[in-house]
Amino acid sequence: MTIKEIGLCLKERRQVLGIIQPDLAEMAQVSINTLYKIERGEANPSIKVLNKLAEVLGIELTLSIKKIS
């Protein structure tokens, strides 16, 4: 999954839950500018930040590792 896809997934879930960006940023304890950039696919968030957002949004992060041939 790309950074843009992750951002879109978070944005869509936030909208389904009816949470506005400033409220999500506050609940997840991340800056509003960071959240804006993540949702637009312009940031490379840490796992810690993604985990905070996922927890508030009620979604699970999974890791997929591909072997490079």
Give the angle 6-7-13 at the CA atoms, nearest 5°. 90
How confident is the model at residue 1, as a pLDDT? 82
Give the tokens for residue 58.
């009620």
Q: What is the CATH number of domain 3-57?
A: 1.10.260.40
What are the pLDDT digits (tens) for 14-33? 999 999 999 999 999 999 99
pTM of the full structure: 0.86
- Return all residues near 31 (Cβ < 8 A) that are at least 6 apart: 25
Banded pLDDT at 69 (limits 50, 70, 90): confident
Banded pLDDT at 67 (limits 50, 70, 90): confident
